[in-house]
Structure 1
C-alpha cells in the first residue's frame, strides 16, 4: 500500500466522527442515490457567471459539486464502521485584471453563488496588484450542454449494506481459515457529481464513479513474535460494483502461481492467497544485497511509474511552482528541447484521461477541456509534459492537455497528474518467456514503501512479494527486498516489456499535492517489465 494511502486509511476504523470531518457531513445510505436537478445547477451557474462578468471578470468558470463517499470497514468477524458522507457546494474561479481569483460557498441559491462570484473577482483584483505577469489562458471552445457518466454496469451505492458486510466478513473468514491471524478489509466507494459552466459557453454535467477494496492480512509466529503482512492485490478502479464479480474475474496467473487481477477482482481468492503468502514470508530467507535483473509485475510497477515519471513530467513541478512542498523535477525544459533520453527504446509512456476503468477517466477536466491521450516519452525520448490552460503557452501549445482537477467544490482546480502508463511491448512476450532469460533476478509483486528525492531523481522502492530467479527458474520466496534507482539509469535499463495481454492498472485515490493540500485519484497501467542490473538492498531490521 502507498504510504500516503496507509496513513489516511489507518485512521478510518477509529470511529465515525473523524470521517465526516475529512469528507463532508454524515448522511443516510439512501441519500447516496439522490442527485441535483441539472436545470437547477444551470440556473445557479448562470447567476454566478452573470455576477462575475458584471463585477469585471474577463473569464469565469463555475463548478457545482456533490461528492459522495461510503466506507464499510471490517476486522476479523466484526464491522468496525459504516459511514456515508456528502459534501455539496459551488466553487467560482475568475480572471480579473489579468489575475486569478477563487471563492466557494455551500449556499446553493442564486444569491449565494453570485456573492461567491463577486468575492472571487475582488480577490483577483487584489492579486493583480502584486502579480508580475497576466494570466494567459489557452482557448477552449464552449461545448454547450453535454453530459458524461462513468460507464458502470452496477452502481455500488445501490448495493445494500448487508451484502457488502457479508462479502467483507466472508473474505476475513476465508483468510483466517487459510492461516491468517488478523485481517482488515474494507470497501471505499466514491461518486463525484460535478457540473461545470464557463463564460466559454460550456455546461458540462458529469457523474464519476470509483471503487476500492483494500485488505491487509497478517500472519504471526507466536514463538518469536515475528509477523508479516500482505496487502490485497486489487487496484482502485473507475468501475461500479461489477468489479467485485468474482465469478467473472479477469485473472493473471504468474509463473510462481500468484493470481493478480485486471478489470475484475475475486476478493475471496485473493484473501486465501494472501494468508498463505504472509505465512510463507515468516520463513522466507532474507535477500543477499547486490545487482539483480528485476522482473516487475504491474501491481508493483504502477507506483514506480507514478513517482519517477508521473510527477516529474507535471509542468508546474518542472517550472518550480511546487518547490516548497512536494518537489520540483529533474526533467527541465531544456531536456525536452535537447531530446533527452529518459529510457531505453523499449519504453513509451503515455498520459491518458480517456482509459476506461482507470481512476482518471472522465469526459472533461475541471476547466471544461475535453480529455485525451498523449505521449510523454516516445521510444525512450522525453517529448512532452502534462499541461493545463494557463501553462500551455509556456510550451508553445495552443490548447490544454485536459489534466486540471480539484478534489472538492471548495478547492481551486490546478494541474494534476493524468493516468500515466507504460505502453505494452510490441512483440508477443509472456511473463514466463521473459523469466526464461533471467540468470540472476528477483520477481517483485505488489507495491510497498518507497522514498524519492525532491527532484524525482534518486529513489528506493519495496514491494509485497519477492521471488528469487536463478537460471530462468523461480526458485523460492525471499524477503527484505528494496531496489535503488536513479530515474534515467533505471528506465534505460528496461530491456523487455510483455505484450498487451498482460496489461493491468494500479493506482491511488490519494495522490497529494498543493497548499492547502488536495488529493486526486490516478491510475497507472503497464505489462510486466524487466530491468537489468539494478541495485538491491536488504531492508531487514535487527531487534537486538
Structure 2
C-alpha cells in the first residue's frame, strides 16, 4: 500500500487498531469527529443533576459525577513508512458516592437520564455493600461549591484541527532528515490527547474543562556493521500541555544548550533535533567508554526531570506513604515520622520542590482536579527539609489539614478518581548562574542530557539512572563524549549532594506522558520543571564494554 492511500484510509479511522495506552477503552472514529462540540453545557448539567439527585434520594451523603469525552490521536512511523494512525474517542459517565460512610463507584456509557439514574443507584448500592467491611468512615475535607464555571488549556492551535497529512508530512521529514544525516533506522511518533471533562458534585460545583496535551518523540539508530555495534539517541523533546503551536513556530525565548539542540522554552524543532540526533548517534559509536568512579554530575532538565519524577514525585504521594500502593508499586522511604520530625533533610539547603497544578504549559495544569478542588501550589521540600506530601480530600485530615491539595485524577470516565502526582518541580537557584558557569566550576565531571534507562527500588530510595548523551568535563571544559554511563545513589544522599542549581533562565520542562499507577491500572501525564543542576561526588558505573 502506498503512503498516500494509507494516509487516506487511516484518516477514515480504518488503520489497524494498535493497542496503546488510553486506546483500548475507545472507539475508532473519523478525525473530523474530533472537532464535534459534544453535548451542550445545559444538557450536561441536566444529566449531572439526575445523577446527584438519584444518589442522594437513595441514601448518599455525598455524590459527584464526571461526564467525560476523551479524544486521542497517535501516529507511529518508521523510516519512510507510516505504520499506524489511531483516532479514538471514549465517552461516558462515572458516578462516585459516599453512603454509610463508605465510597461506592459505578460507570456507564449509556449517557441518558435513565442510564445515569440506574448508574447512580448502583453506585449507592455498592457503597452500602462496601460499608459492611469498612473499618472507619470516609473523612472528606470540606470544599465549597464554585457554581457553574469552565476552564480550558490556553492553546493557540488545536492539534486535532491540523490535517492528518500535515502531521504525517512532519514525521516523514523528521525521518528523512535523520536518514540523510547518518541514521540507519528511525522511528517517530506524535501523541495528542484532549480531555473534555464535566464535573458536578453535591457541594454545588458544575465545572466544564477542556484539557490538551501532546508529545512529539523519535528514536534514531546508527550502526557500525564492521564492529557489529549500534547506538541510539532519543528525542530531547518534552511532552507538554500546549496545542500544535509547540511544533508550529518557534517562540522568542531561545538559547543554546551544550550538546543538545537549540532550546526554545515553549517550542520544539523536531527536525533540527532529529538531524543532531543522527550525528550524535554516530559519535556515540566511537565515544570513549567511561571509567567507573566518583564524578560531579551536571544533569540537564531532559535528564534530571525523570530523576525528580521517580525519587521525589512518587515517594511523596501520600497513598504510597500509607501503603495503599504497596501491592503494585511499592511504598515510600519518606514515612510520616520523618515528616513529623520537621527536620528530615531530604536534600541540601538549596533544594526546594514545589507541587503546582497551575504552572503554564505543564501537563498537570488544570483549573480544578477531579474532585472539584481548585488548582493550587504548595511546598513539598523547603530549604532541603521535607514539609508536605500530595493528598486528596479524603487524605488531608491525616496531615492535620482541612483543605485538599487538589491531587485527584481519573484517566477515563469509567475509572474511579484517586491520588495522582501533580507537577513536581525543582526551583531555580538564586543569582545569575548559567550552565557555562557551572561547567567552569567542575574539575572532574560528566554532563548528561536526555532520558535513559532507570531503576529504583520499591521504597523509591536506591536507584540507578542513565541518559542519552554524556560529556566528560575536565578542568572546567568539555573534553569529549563518553559512553556506557549510569549514575547510582539513594534519594537522600543524592539530593543532599546537590551543590549548585542554575538560575531561572535555564529552567525547562520535562514530562511523563504515560505514568502508570493503581489497580486496575491508570495512566496520567505530569510535568517536572528544573534548571541544570550539579551533584557532587556521585558514583558512576560502566554499563557496557571493557575500557
Is the TM-score greater than 0.5? Answer: yes
Q: Does the CA-based 8 Å contact 2:251-2:266 persist in structure 1?
A: no
Correspondence for 1:184: 187
Correspondence for 1:81: 84
SS at match of 1:214: strand
SS at match of 1:203: strand
1:152-163 map, 5 Å: 152-163=155-166
Q: Does 1:479 find its partner at 2:483?
A: yes
Deviation of residue 83 (structure 1)? 1.7
SS at match of 2:314: helix
Deviation of residue 262 (structure 1)? 2.7
- Partner Cα separation in structure 1 for residue 439 and residue 23 of structure 2: 48
Q: Does the CA-based 8 Å contact 2:143-2:203 persist in structure 1?
A: yes
Q: Does 1:39 find its partner at 2:62?
A: no
Q: Does 1:169 find its partner at 2:172?
A: yes
Deviation of residue 261 (structure 1)? 4.3
Correspondence for 2:29: 27
- Partner Cα separation in structure 1 for residue 18 and residue 377 of structure 2: 41
Deviation of residue 260 (structure 1)? 3.8
Q: Does the CA-based 8 Å contact 1:352-1:419 persist in structure 2?
A: yes
1:121-520 map, 5 Å: 121-248=124-251, 250-256=253-259, 258-338=261-341, 339-520=343-524
- Partner Cα separation in structure 2 for residue 18 and residue 142 of structure 1: 39
Deviation of residue 427 (structure 1)? 1.4
Q: Does the CA-based 8 Å contact 2:251-2:265 persist in structure 1?
A: no
Deviation of residue 36 (structure 1)? 2.1
Correspondence for 1:70: 73
Q: Which runs of 5+ in 1 are unaligned?
A: 1-13
Correspondence for 1:118: 121
Q: Identify the range of structure 1 (198-207 vs 327-336) with the bigger mean alpha-carbon deviation.
A: 327-336
Q: Does the CA-based 8 Å contact 1:354-1:362 persist in structure 2?
A: yes
SS at match of 2:117: helix
Q: Does the CA-based 8 Å contact 1:256-1:474 persist in structure 2?
A: no
Q: Identify the range of structure 1 (75-84 vs 263-272) with the bigger mean alpha-carbon deviation.
A: 75-84
Q: Identify the range of structure 1 (292-301 vs 182-191) with the bigger mean alpha-carbon deviation.
A: 182-191
Deviation of residue 40 (structure 1)? 1.3
Deviation of residue 82 (structure 1)? 1.6
- Partner Cα separation in structure 2 for residue 126 and residue 397 of structure 1: 30
Q: Does the CA-based 8 Å contact 1:185-1:216 persist in structure 2?
A: yes
SS at match of 1:309: helix
SS at match of 1:306: helix
- Partner Cα separation in structure 2 for residue 335 and residue 397 of structure 1: 17
Q: Does 1:538 find its partner at 2:542?
A: yes
Q: Which runs of 5+ in 2 are unaligned?
A: 1-14
Q: CA-to-partner distance for each residue in 1:477-518, whole Å, 9 max, x for gaps?
A: 010100001111100000000000000000111111100011
Q: Does the CA-based 8 Å contact 1:233-1:260 persist in structure 2?
A: no
Deviation of residue 248 (structure 1)? 3.5
Q: CA-to-partner distance for each residue in 1:405-438, whole Å, 9 max, x for gaps?
A: 0000000000000000000001110000011010
- Partner Cα separation in structure 2 for residue 28 and residue 403 of structure 1: 34
Number of matched pairs: 529
Deviation of residue 201 (structure 1)? 0.2
SS at match of 2:364: coil
- Partner Cα separation in structure 2 for residue 480 and residue 269 of structure 1: 25
